[in-house]
Amino acid sequence: MTAATLITGALAADEAGVTPATIRKWVQLGRLSPAGKQGRAQLFRLEDVFAAERAGRRKPRTAG
């Protein structure tokens, strides 16, 4: 079994089709957790990023 590759927030955002600000918001909301750090930069597992993106799409909308 190989170790998961860690990527920067900017690359994670690019792969998920969102902005880096969205990645930071997911972290603030607890939807996504960094898997490591490189200097000051947070690093993420790509599968965690995709899971957070899918979770956001499934979010139920409230009737207004």
CB 25 within 8 A of CB 19: no
Alpha-carbon gap, residue 42 to 20, rounded angstroms: 11
pTM of the model: 0.80
pLDDT for res 61: 58
Q: What is the pLDDT of residues 26-64, one digit of tens each?
A: 999 999 999 999 999 999 999 999 999 998 877 665 665
- 7 bridge partner residues: 44
